Structure 1
Amino acid sequence: MTPDAEFGYELLVCRYAELAWHPSGGPRPAIVARQLGTKERRWDTVVIEVDPAAFAARRAFGERAIDSDLLHVVRHAPAEWSWYRDALPHPGYPWRYVRRAVHRAAGRDLIEKRRRNNRIQLRRKRPYPDWVDRIVAVENKPDLDRSAADRLADQLAHDVDTALADEAWLATETTGERVEPALLREMPVEAGILATDFSDGVRADAASVAWHPSDLAPAGDERRDPETETLRVEIAERAYGKGWRSYHETMRPDCRHFELRREGRSLVPHCAAKEKVPTARECSGSCPEFSPEPPQWRTRGWPIEGGPGKGFKRVLGRRRERERDRVESVE
């Protein structure tokens, strides 16, 4: 059953994308995240299509995201020892910030560093791979009325014009009619429309393509400018580190009313007190129904060592790692 809140619908779309991407182009290895983008535009769901071998090489850099400052160091670190100012391109901001990033990168074992003649030198431990094939942006709107359609049309038009992503989609609940109402709205023709049916939960066949998207990537030998390519890698890194199951970081899984409920092949948060899928704003310490886990819950052993709240986090963490392993093993 589709949750009432758009937040709940967003989680189901993320899980569907994880199970069955690409909806019209056949299976493609991909990782999925939510609520990512730029200062000008935030996407509901982000699908990063990857090269499995290069993705495995990326995982060798660790499970955490590499932020923009660290990327500048890691991507340009030389194979042989060199003074960091000679090795790295000018960042466009003071070198002292680069020096701090060098220390942070070495602290995370991303590069090697040493001091020679009172100068900081660095060299790479391994090349940073070109692991991102394509980026797909999905806007989620289960109930599409006229006002929502007008707003979404502007947002999708922005995605088409900037072409930061390679595809732009609108995901909406199917109505059962022969022609989906979304097709009648003033959506950009370049944006795809995904009609979902989560009445029986998330399944690999729980969505169909109502309108195929256009490829927004540069045609032929054309390429995006270096600044845009760097921005795409930064978005992919945030998607890698955050995923879509990180909602527990902004909610209160340590509340006695917090649950994880199965919706087909997905687990979604559920509030037993309010009997609904809560949003992060609702599931907070200021909620009138918030009730911390009793201390004795946190002293029990397996299967909820540390309390149910910590158990929920471990379950979601294991599922994220399982999906990463699956993507890496695709041949």
Structure 2
Amino acid sequence: MTPDAEFGYELLVCRYAELAWHPSEGPRPALVARQLGTQARRWDTVVIEVDPAAFERRRAFGERTIDSDLLHVVRGAPAEWEWYRDALPDPGYPWRYVRQAVHRAAGRDLIEKRRDGNRIQIRRVRPYPDWVERIVAVENKPDLDRSAADRLAEQLNHDIDTGLADEAWLATETTGEPVEPALLRELPVEAGILATDFSAGVDADAVDVAWHPSDLAPGSGERRDSETETLRLEIAERAYGKGWRSFHDTMRPDCRHFELRREGRALVPYCAAKGKLPTARECSGSCSKFSPEPPQWRTKGWPIEGGPGKGITALLERRRERERDGVAPGDDA
């Protein structure tokens, strides 16, 4: 059955998007992440539609996020050796921070560096590709009452006005009524509506499009300003490194009661002590039911050193890797 917490619903929407994106226009290669955005706006679910060939070139830069400081260096690194202050655009902040980023980038083999007297020279290892095609924002609200709709309308209008995303959706649970209540709420018409039914678990058929969204990308001949384009790329990089299964970073898989349970084609966290899917806030060291794994659990043949909690973390990370590996040239699924 569908988890009653919004957090659990969010995980199911993320898995659906991973399985069956785009809901109305057919399969597109994409990455899915959650709880990403800017200081002004955080999205529940983020879908990064990618160019598969360019994405493969991005994969050559490694598995980790390239953060904003590193992007400044990696994107600006020249093909031939050059003093980093001549090669890179003015960052708008002290160059000493750029120098630190140069060292970090070289330490991760993202660029090459050398000294020429007192100057640090850099050159690129390979061009950083233009791998992001579209960014889609999804707000998740399983129970869309009137007050929730009012708050969402303001948030969705912000997305539409800023143009940071190419498409905006609301995901909500279907009610089975002839006209879904979400269609009667005062939501911006530019936002699409996904009517979900995860009662039998997650699969490609668990979602219907109740309202089709508008394309929020600039029209022909128009371009986003460079600051917006940079923000979009930073969001995409965080999505690449984080994915949506990163809940293990903010929960306690090392608790003896922490499990993963299947919801159709999704694996979600489950608390055996409370008999439910916990929120990230509940699943913490301060929980009254928290019980660390006994030390002997970590020494009796578990699939990875450190016990079942480490095994769960490794499993989730392998699944993230598997999904990223699936976005390959010529792969339309």
| TM-score, length of structure 2 as denominator length | 0.98
1:188, CA displacement in angstroms? Answer: 0.1
1:222-241 pair list within 5 angstroms = 222-241=222-241
Q: Kindly indicate whether residue 95 of structure 2 is the aligned counterpart of residue 86 of structure 1.
A: no
Aligned with 1:237: secondary structure?
A: helix
Alpha-carbon displacement from aligned partner over 1:244-293 (angstroms, at most 9, x marks no partner): 00000110000000000000000000000111111111000000000011
**CA distance, structure 2, for counterparts of residue 290 and residue 302 of structure 1:** 21
Q: Which residue of 2 aligns with 1:202?
A: 202
TM normalised by structure 1 equals: 0.99
CA–CA distance in 1 between the matches of 2:305 and 2:107?
A: 31
List aligned pairs for 1:98-117, cutoff 5 A: 98-117=98-117
Tell me which residue corresponds to 1:145: 145
Give, in angstroms, the shift of residue 126 of structure 1: 0.3
Where 2:327 maps in the other structure, the secondary structure is: helix
Post-superposition Cα deviations, 1:191-228, rounded to whole Å, max 9, x if no partner, equal 00000000000001110100000000001111101111
User: The residue matched to 1:129 in structure 2 has which SS?
Assistant: coil
Unaligned runs of 5+ in 1: none
- Structure 1 segments, 4+ long, off by >2 Å, are 302-306
Separation in structure 2 between the aligned mates of residue 288 and residue 260 of structure 1, nearest angstrom:
20
| 1:18–1:32 Cα contact (<8 Å) kept | yes
Partner of 1:17: 17
- Give, in angstroms, the shift of residue 39 of structure 1: 0.6
Partner of 1:287: 287
CA–CA separation in structure 1 for the residues paired with 2:80 and 2:168: 41
Cα distance, 1:294 vs structure 2:
0.9
Q: 1:300 offset after TM fit, Å?
A: 1.4
Give the length in aligned residue pairs. Answer: 331
Contact 2:140 2:171 in 1 (8 A): yes
Q: How does 1:1-331 map to 2 (within 5 A)?
A: 1-303=1-303, 305-329=305-329, 330=331
Percent identity, aligned pairs only, is 85
Paired amino acid for 1:8: G
CA distance in structure 2 between the aligned counterparts of 1:323 and 1:315, rounded to whole angstroms: 12
Contact (CA 8 Å) 1:300, 1:306: kept in 2 or not? no
Is contact 2:168-2:191 (8 Å) kept? Answer: yes
DSSP-derived class of the 1:216 partner: coil
Q: Which runs of 5+ in 2 are unaligned?
A: none
Cα distance in 1 for partners of 2:201, 2:77 equals 46
Q: Could you tell me whether the CA contact under 8 Å between 1:51 and 1:131 is conserved in 2?
A: yes
- Cα RMSD (Å): 0.8
SS in 2 for 1:269: strand
